[in-house]
Amino acid sequence: MLFSSIVFLFIFFPAVLTLYYMFFFSRACQNVILLLASLIFYAWGEPLYVLLMFASILVNSLLAGVVQKLKGEGSRKAVLFIAVAANLATLFIFKYLGFVMETFGLVPVSLPLPIGISFFTFQAMSYVVDVYRGTVKAENPFYVGLYIAFFPQLIAGPIIQYNTIAEQIRHRKSNFNMFSMGISRFTVGLAKKILLSNAFAGMADNIFRWSMIGTERMAVPVMLAWLGSISYSLQIYYDFSAYSDMAIGLGLCFGFKFPENFNYPYIAESISDFWKRWHISLTDWFREYVYFPLGGSRVKNQDFMVRNMLVVWLLTGIWHGANWTFIFWGLMYFVFQLAERFFEYPKKMKSKFVKHFYTLMVVNALWVVFRADNLYQAGRFFMNMLGVNYNGFYSDLAVMMIRENIVFLVLGILFSIPIARNMNEILYKNPKSAVSRVGTIVYPIGLMALLVVCVAYMASGTYNPFIYFNF
């Protein structure tokens, strides 16, 4: 089920909300309702794979319990190994088996990808590892189930570590203030997804498709190629950050406080800075469960640090999908981060503009690799962007697309910088001011208008893809 669907907004969500607050006197009952609702939410799109979810919950709870009970370090490690192997095997079979078989020239097995498998498998794995480390206690399968399957963050994160919400599952406070904050955040996310991301998706998908029409790759003009890459950069940001906004907002509606997943990544001043702002929960996960256990950067020999970084970025690439494009994309980030660490050139750049420009150019170029169907298309697309494909510069089509989407492009660029946050701060520095008072009326009406427009778009079945559902 999509958050940006009529069924979710007008049937599922009100029903869950009603049931949840009907049992305001019992936290246990509320948790049962949330778990059942989460399973229905998942089963809606994946009726069969909900069994996989059940299996994941049961196996990980069981193994975590065993890890906690065992005394010997060797046996504890063995059980942890089994748990991690079971999770990775699940991920491998459903996500990578076809790709590996194809790579080795075998006829690939095509299993449909369970939605959000990378997200819930990583959460499940981190839970068992945390129990092994002793940072959390093994819980009953019911709590683990709610942690793994909780519908706001089930399909596209943020990836939450168990100790973040262990206490919240048992003793959380929910009140109308939190609900109001949550529902406002959800609506902002919905508007980002429906109005901005989908508009950019239309442009990006068309331009990337045109570059692959027929057996011979068409040369799209420079202007069009750049419009395609910039549209995709905006699309992926608004798609994924919108989902995180909706997830965080829905969490608040039920009293859960999830960590932030984005912090204006396109204002980053280096690639390292970009990854501190983009998909923060995934970066944290890899740092906590891969980079640090390998030794991190506190190693005697620099070679080991390079190896650790390589492993993390290779895995980051593979995590995003079974395709050489993702692996190359991850490796390129490794190269840039390594270069930044050794040569420290972002620090040497004096102009902020140059720092931003460098970061945006690299990120935008690597999104092309990420978006392309294969490395060949990515290469051709780069040639088109650089104008070395006998493709010319000017494109009437690009001008037409820019004219048609100028409002979305301007808003998309404006809201990718912290303009809204800064305006908020100015507005509420002096709550007595006339502007602040007007804002109190204009904000809810404006957000309501956005909701109505979003519902109209959803009802008319406008193009509505979600990129991170595939991961």
Partner 1 sequence: MARRKGRRKKDPLKAYILRKKIFALLFLTSVFGYAGVNAWYGGDIWLETVEESLAGGD
428 interacts with partner 1 by CB under 8 A: yes
User: Of 283-312, which residues contact partner 1 (CB under 8 A)?
Assistant: none
Between CA 386 and CA 393, with CA 388 as vertex, the angle to 5 degrees is: 65
181 interacts with partner 1 by CB under 8 A: yes
CA–CA gap between residue 158 and residue 232 (Å, rounded): 21
432 interacts with partner 1 by CB under 8 A: yes
82 exposure class (CB count in 10 Å sphere: 0-12, 13-18, 19+): middle
CA–CA gap between residue 454 and residue 379 (Å, rounded): 37
For residue 320, what are the contacts with CB-CB under 8 A and spacing of at least 6? 326, 329, 330, 370, 471
Tokens linked to 415: 């809201």
CA–CA gap between residue 255 and residue 337 (Å, rounded): 38
Among 31, 187, 233, 235, the residue binding partner 1 under the rule CB under 8 A is 187
Minimal distance, residue 468 CB to partner 1, in Å? 25
Please identify, among the stretches 171-179, 211-219, 221-229, 286-294, the one whose residues bind partner 1 according to the rule CB under 8 A. Answer: 171-179
Minimal distance, residue 261 CB to partner 1, in Å? 21
Minimal distance, residue 17 CB to partner 1, in Å? 8
Please identify, among the stretches 84-92, 103-111, 183-191, 198-206, the one whose residues bind partner 1 according to the rule CB under 8 A. Answer: 183-191
Q: Which is nearer to partner 1, 183 or 363 (CB)?
A: 183
Q: Which is nearer to partner 1, 177 or 374 (CB)?
A: 177
Minimal distance, residue 15 CB to partner 1, in Å? 8
CA–CA gap between residue 231 and residue 406 (Å, rounded): 12
Q: Where does residue 141 fall: left (phi above 0), alpha (psi -120 to 50 degrees), or beta otherwise?
A: alpha
Q: Which of 117, 142, 167, 115 is nearest to 58 (CA)?
A: 142
Active-site residue identified among 171, 279, 320, 356:
320
21 interacts with partner 1 by CB under 8 A: no
Please identify, among the stretches 2-10, 56-64, 86-94, 372-380, the one whose residues bind partner 1 according to the rule CB under 8 A. Answer: 2-10
- Asked if residue 39 lies in contact with residue 50, where contact means CB atoms within 8 angstroms, the answer is yes
Q: Which is nearer to partner 1, 98 or 182 (CB)?
A: 182
259 interacts with partner 1 by CB under 8 A: no
Q: Give how many residues touch partner 1 by CB under 8 A.
A: 34
205 exposure class (CB count in 10 Å sphere: 0-12, 13-18, 19+): middle
CA distances from 170 to 18, 124, 371 (A): 20, 19, 41
14 interacts with partner 1 by CB under 8 A: yes
Minimal distance, residue 453 CB to partner 1, in Å? 13
Minimal distance, residue 196 CB to partner 1, in Å? 20
423 interacts with partner 1 by CB under 8 A: no
424 interacts with partner 1 by CB under 8 A: yes
**320 included as an active-site residue:** yes
Minimal distance, residue 267 CB to partner 1, in Å? 23
439 interacts with partner 1 by CB under 8 A: yes
Please identify, among the stretches 53-61, 131-139, 181-189, 229-237, the one whose residues bind partner 1 according to the rule CB under 8 A. Answer: 181-189
- Asked if residue 34 lies in contact with residue 28, where contact means CB atoms within 8 angstroms, the answer is no
431 interacts with partner 1 by CB under 8 A: yes
- Asked if residue 471 lies in contact with residue 119, where contact means CB atoms within 8 angstroms, the answer is yes
CA–CA gap between residue 30 and residue 469 (Å, rounded): 27
414 exposure class (CB count in 10 Å sphere: 0-12, 13-18, 19+): exposed
Minimal distance, residue 11 CB to partner 1, in Å? 7
User: Of 441-470, which residues contact partner 1 (CB under 8 A)?
Assistant: 441, 443-445, 447-448, 451, 455, 459-461
- Type of residue numbered 441: I
Q: Name the residues annotated as catalytic.
A: 320
Binding site for partner 1 (CB under 8 A): 6, 9-11, 13-14, 176-177, 179-181, 183-184, 187, 424, 428-429, 431-432, 436-437, 439-441, 443-445, 447-448, 451, 455, 459-461
